[in-house]
Structure 1
Amino acid sequence: MSRLCVLSLMLVAGLASAEEGLVFAAASTTDVLQELRPAFTAATGHSVVVALGSSGDLARQAIAGAPADAFLSADVARMEAVQQAGLVQPGTRADLLSNRLVVVVPVDSKRKLAGPESLKGLKRLVLADPAIVPAGVYAKAWLEKVGLWKDVESHVVPALDVRAALSAVEAGRVDAGVVYATDAAQSKKVKVAFEVPQADAPHIVYPVAALTKGKAPEVGKAFVRFLQTEPARAAFRRHGFVVLAPDGGKSAK
């Protein structure tokens, strides 16, 4: 057999083994995953379609039988629900990232917000839905900790996910919003009024795992491994995420 034939057969075999997986991922990871998708394909030959949204909604879909091959959640509780349903491939779950909360206002706003007490005077404060969306759950936990939730609850506008909350601030439909620092950083239509102090903020963790009910479970495992490589970690850092070490601590920059 000629060398050309051998190479052709190897190419065909490689194409035949390449698969496309479905990844469920928190809306706050939109930009970085768009960057990482082609890098994953270049590294593995596989490809992924990424379904982005509220981690709570995505977890419900996975538990209801949606064929996701991997899940990147913005909080531990949603991953726990998926794992308790028996959907996590053993040995694949890892705490991948952390984030920070910030209060943002429209970029042309003249309103001066200097700390949590200043939120009392707002007419409309947008949060990702605090009943189910991690960014909103985290924001509510912070406001409860500083004793302000009862003061602002009646003025809270719940959004579908954190990107929808950001969009509401960008459009000027609300006075301010609480979003992740990574979301605020990618928008030119908002400005950060203040960052939630680390001491007051809830512990934000993004766990990732490969799932069992997808159509390409090996792609799910490969994608989870890829997200833990140094090139992927570097991309997360560029987008403002805090990358966690394998033991759950912050990794070195």
Structure 2
Amino acid sequence: MRPFSLACSLLLLFTAMPADAEKALIFAAASTTNALQELGPAFTKATGHEVEFAFGASSDLARQATAGAPADAFLSADAVRLDTLERVGLVQPGTRVDLLSNRLVVVVPAEAKGALAGPGDLKAVKRLALADPAAVPAGVYAKGWLEKAGLWKALEPKVVPALDVRAALAAVESGRVDAGVVYATDAAQSKKVRVAFAVPDTDAPRIVYPVAALAKGKAPEAGRAFVRFLQTEGARKVFARQGFVVLGAEPRVP
């Protein structure tokens, strides 16, 4: 009976998986790394589709997608990058949704002496790490906040631009800079930094993470399935636990 039982078990396993299971390539902002790595296995278990992630600066990922990289979905840290892909026909129609928001915080090395109590205190730092303010969303948001505070001209010569927000965090962790502006979700992942102060939402540009399935990937159905999965209650709980602000309530995506 045992061989028969094993055969039945295998049959049930394979019939439970979709016949057209695919492997999706997901481009995603570096700040979503921890959350998506946690969600990946749950997505595969729920849908049968495998998933591979490419994390990085949203600006760089958008350039790769425009150049022909076969990503099946894109979770961007700002709307501008997805706007660009949408204009050139790379977004599957009807799949785009604003998924998350975040907050900016100023971090210093955990063992740093002294205190930064507010924006004006940043004038005293010698080096300030930002994700590249000319391109990377976290840096663009940080620059927008500093411009609104009237501090950008004074601080620009002190800025150490980083490849992405995780690289800016790493610069603070290593002590190579005195402070950095990163997302609250990234600061929460590190024991090597402490938050000096949070940037009030009213002072910072609106931070939005849109997601969409892309049109030129090799696994279009898996891309759509992943976008749907990110809107489920289970995924929303993971994002919230990681410190993201979860937007909306009604799932979209055909």
User: What are the superposed Cα offsets for residues 83-115 of structure 1, whole Å, 9 maximum, x if unpaired?
Assistant: 111000011000000000000000000031010
Partner in structure 2 of residue 231 of structure 1: 234
**Which among 58, 69, 74 is matched to residue 71 of structure 1?**
74
Q: 1:59 aligns with which of 62, 71, 75?
A: 62
- Note the 1:178-189 alignment, pairs <5 A: 178-189=181-192
2:128 aligned residue: 125
Query: Identity over aligned residues, as a percent?
Result: 72
* Corresponding residue number in structure 2 for 1:250: none
Amino acid in the other structure paired with 2:217 = G
Single out whichever of 3-12 and 189-198 deviates more from structure 2. Answer: 3-12
Q: How does 1:1-253 map to 2 (within 5 A)?
A: 8=11, 11=14, 14=17, 16-246=19-249
Distance 2:18 2:237 in 1: 29
SS at match of 1:17: coil
- Superposition deviation, residue 17 in structure 1: 2.2
- Equivalent pairs counted in the alignment come to 247
CA distance in 2, matches of 1:8, 1:203: 50
List runs of 5+ in structure 2 lacking aligned partners: none
Q: Given that residues 23 and 48 in structure 1 are in contact (C-alpha distance below 8 angstroms), is that contact kept between their aligned partners in structure 2? A: yes
TM-score by length of 2: 0.93
Q: 1:92 to 1:118 in 2, by over 3 A?
A: same
What is the CA RMSD across the aligned residues, in angstroms? 2.0
Q: TM-score, normalised by structure 1?
A: 0.93
SS at structure 1 position matched to 2:17: helix
In structure 2, what is the Cα distance between the partners aligned to 1:66 and 1:171?
33
> Helix, strand or coil: the match of 1:52?
strand
Partner Cα distance (1:21, 1:7) in 2: 24
Unpaired runs of 5+ residues, structure 1, are: 248-253
CA distance in 1 between counterparts of 2:9 and 2:177 reads 63
| Distance in structure 2 (CA, Å) of the matches to 1:24 and 1:240 | 20
- Cα distance 1:6–1:100, how it changes in 2: closer, same or farther (>3 A)? closer
Indicate if the aligned counterparts of 1:95 and 1:246 stay in contact, CA closer than 8 A.
no
CA distance in 1, matches of 2:13, 2:195: 53
Distance 1:239 1:12 in 2: 34
Q: Verify the 8 A CA contact 2:31 2:186 in the aligned structure 1.
A: yes
Deviation at 1:5, TM superposition (A): 7.4
SS in structure 2 of the partner of residue 225 of structure 1: helix
What is the CA-CA distance between 1:16 and the residue it aligns to?
A: 4.7
